[in-house]
Chain A
Amino acid sequence: GAVVSQHPSWVICKSGTSVKIECRSLDFQATTMFWYRQFPKQSLMLMATSNEGSKATYEQGVEKDKFLINHASLTLSTLTVTSAHPEDSSFYICSAREPSGTDGELFFGEGSRLTVL
């Protein structure tokens, strides 16, 4: 199947700093990628839809100025957590759909665990 990779897999930062997480589709082009957030022992919550060459679409309640998403190429989307605080600590997962694949079927990255001290 298609491969989606995230980097870094884990990151620890000080409160007030910004952190960038990358999501890459390794063997296919993804015009759309999705960013999810997962708190411990909870389900995935969609944060935003990343569209190549245009602005991301954020879900209700997600601060777009806090979570900056850039989808500059067909294989890369980045999520930047700006001025991170301890409550931003979470597991962030990206996903993408292979163009030739089925609607709704997504391939997920390995996830990035962010810990803000």
Chain B
Amino acid sequence: AQSVTQLDSQVPVFEEAPVELRCNYSSSVSVYLFWYVQYPNQGLQLLLKYLSGSTLVKGINGFEAEFNKSQTSFHLRKPSVHISDTAEYFCAAGIKAAGNKLTFGGGTRVLVKP
């Protein structure tokens, strides 16, 4: 069974500073990888996804992530955060052969301080 680990449950960061959210997955087969953002009392919005090809993936709102197969990681980064980036971020993995089932990490709460 696959698992997704988000190493930081909470990340405080000052406005305009960079942020990195760490995500590691465990799977012996090919996976799809996703980052979602959740604002309070809302559903999930897709930030970006890795399917294949280039290991550096760019998403919405200035976020990007890098797939590292040897380290089984998919860390999310943003060079300069805004107050509006305060939210919960979830990393998720899906096995290509298993269709649409996603396994989510525990989430990382980003708190952007002025």
Which residues in chain B, 79-114, are within 8 Å of chain A measured between CB atoms? 90, 94-96, 99-102, 104-107, 109
Contact A104–B42 (Cβ < 8 Å): no
Which residues in chain A, 70-117, are within 8 Å of chain B measured between CB atoms? 91, 93, 95, 97, 102-111, 113
Please tell me if A42 contacts chain B, counting CB pairs below 8 Å.
Answer: yes
Contact for A106 among B51, B96, B102, CB less than 8 A: B102
Which residues in chain B, 37-55, are within 8 Å of chain A measured between CB atoms? 41-46, 49, 51
- Interface residues on chain B, number (Cβ under 8 Å): 24
Distance in Å: Cβ of A58 to nearest Cβ of chain B: 13
Contact B32–A104 (Cβ < 8 Å): yes
Please tell me if B63 contacts chain A, counting CB pairs below 8 Å.
Answer: no
- Interface residues on chain A, number (Cβ under 8 Å): 28
Distance in Å: Cβ of B85 to nearest Cβ of chain A: 18
Contact A104–B34 (Cβ < 8 Å): yes
Contact B43–A108 (Cβ < 8 Å): yes
Please tell me if A32 contacts chain B, counting CB pairs below 8 Å.
Answer: yes
Question: Measured between alpha carbons, how far is A28 from B105 in the docked complex, in Å?
Answer: 28
Quick one: closest A residue to B99, CB to CB?
Answer: A103
Distance in Å: Cβ of A35 to nearest Cβ of chain B: 12
Contact B96–A103 (Cβ < 8 Å): yes
Chain A residues whose CB sits within 8 angstroms of the CB of B36 once the complex forms: 108
Which residues in chain B, 16-45, are within 8 Å of chain A measured between CB atoms? 32, 34, 36, 41-45
Please tell me if A1 contacts chain B, counting CB pairs below 8 Å.
Answer: yes
- A-B contact list, 5 entries, CB within 8 Å: A6-B43, A32-B100, A42-B107, A43-B105, A104-B34
Q: Which residues of B contact A (CB under 8 A)?
A: 32, 34, 36, 41-46, 49, 51, 90, 94-96, 99-102, 104-107, 109
